[in-house]
Amino acid sequence: MSTTEYLVCDFCYRHCRLKDGGIGFCGVRERSGDTIFTHNYGGLVSSAIDPVEKKPLYHFLPGTNTLSIAMFGCNLTCTFCQNYAISQRAWEEGAQRTYYTAREVVQLAVDNRCPSISFTYSEPLVWQDYMVEVATFAKREGLKTIMVTNGTFSEESLIRISPYIDAFNIDIKGDEAFYRNYCGGSGHPVWNAIEHIAPSRAHLEITTMIMEGVHTREMISSIGRHLYSAGVQVWHLSRYFPRYQEQKRETSEHYLKEVVQEAQESMVPFIYPGNSSLDQNTYCPYCRTLLVRRSWVSLESIIDHSNCPVCGRHIYGTWS
């Protein structure tokens, strides 16, 4: 029996203080005696072979497939959650799981000739112990690792996770009022994580889902300036579609185009529209040479060993 009244879970910025038998905000971290453990460890609620561009990552191993996996859980309560049935606490009990050891996940990636494993769909922060175990075995097999996350790291988890992840896609959901009103959280830890990761060895791309009538051009301009100041190179702006508790009308292509044009004023070098028919090709930011041509069904890369074939300038990314 524990003599400590509270133990602190350091998996995310919330630092939940748990009494014996207590469960964290995410619903999957529980205390028993002097131990905090993750429910249903290794129980995958989703797995798939995806194009890496779906994460979205446009500058990291383009044209390859990635093994995408998720355990249950999230530490935010976004009203527009796209994957609420495998992330939001009310659905935890009924989730269908298939259990894999870390070694089995890595073997699955090898068998399917995937050069990377992506921790995605739900929020990997709340099952980071499993993620780190899988990533450890993945490194031994020469595989790359990808974390798609809301970015609300604790300082401890950022230090713990960073050595094991090759590429991050982090959501910037909006300004602080947006986080408070729509996500039940805060953007401050997200910015802290971006400022830590952007200058590191890890690859980083940012995603913002654009909700027409909520994400104003002024908000996007402010986010863009902050991203540019942090050294971010790649920013995805994706159309919103009604999902979960949020039933605002879908974002129009016209409005997304306006927002993309506004974002381009930030000087972030590579900005892409998502969930859209707008141009998603990659161009050299220095001479405008077409480097990667993308369509719904194909991808053609023209870039040569991370350099523009015309002007020779370095292009951010991991291209092979």
Residue 22 in domain: no
- The pLDDT assigned to 297 comes to 65
Give me the mean pLDDT over the 33-59 stretch. 97
Instruction: Share the mean pLDDT of the chain.
Output: 95
- Looking at the predicted structure, is the pLDDT value of residue 298 above 90? no
When pLDDT is cut at 50, 70 and 90, the band that residue 300 belongs to is confident
Query: Among 44-48, 51-55, 159-163, 244-248, where is mean pLDDT lowest?
Result: 244-248
- Looking at the predicted structure, is the pLDDT value of residue 4 above 90? no
Give me the mean pLDDT over the 151-171 stretch. 98
- Same domain, yes or no, for 123 and 157? yes
- Same domain, yes or no, for 141 and 58? yes
CA neighbours within 13 Å on the CB side: how many for 162? Answer: 18
Measured distance CA(130)–CA(73) in Å, rounded: 13
- The total domain count for the chain is 2
- Same domain, yes or no, for 53 and 115? yes
- Same domain, yes or no, for 315 and 264? no
pTM, 2 dp? 0.96
CATH code for the domain in which residue 60 is found: 3.20.20.70
- Same domain, yes or no, for 53 and 184? yes
Residue 246 in domain: yes
Residue 29 in domain: no
- Looking at the predicted structure, is the pLDDT value of residue 2 above 60? no
> Which residue, among 22, 27, 16, 28, has the nearest Cα to 2 in the 3D structure?
22
The 3-state DSSP class for residue 248 equals coil
Query: For 29-41, what is each residue's pLDDT tens digit?
Result: 999 999 999 999 9
Strand residues in the chain grouped as ranges (E): 7-8, 17-18, 29-32, 35-38, 43-44, 46-51, 65-70, 98-99, 116-119, 144-149, 167-171, 203-210, 234-239, 270-274, 282-283, 290-294, 299-301
- Same domain, yes or no, for 234 and 88? yes
Bridge-partner residues for 29, per DSSP? 38
Measured distance CA(157)–CA(309) in Å, rounded: 40
Where in the sequence is the domain holding 80, given as residue range(s)? 41-279
Q: What is the CA radius of gyration of the chain?
A: 20
DSSP structure class, residue 252: P
- Same domain, yes or no, for 223 and 77? yes
Whether the CA torsion 177, 182, 188, 193 is positive or negative: it is negative
When pLDDT is cut at 50, 70 and 90, the band that residue 3 belongs to is low
- The pLDDT assigned to 93 comes to 86
Give me the mean pLDDT over the 166-184 stretch. 98
Give me the mean pLDDT over the 291-305 stretch. 81
- Tokens 């609420």 found at: 84
- Same domain, yes or no, for 264 and 309? no
Strand pairing of 167-171 and 270-274? unpaired
- The pLDDT assigned to 1 comes to 53
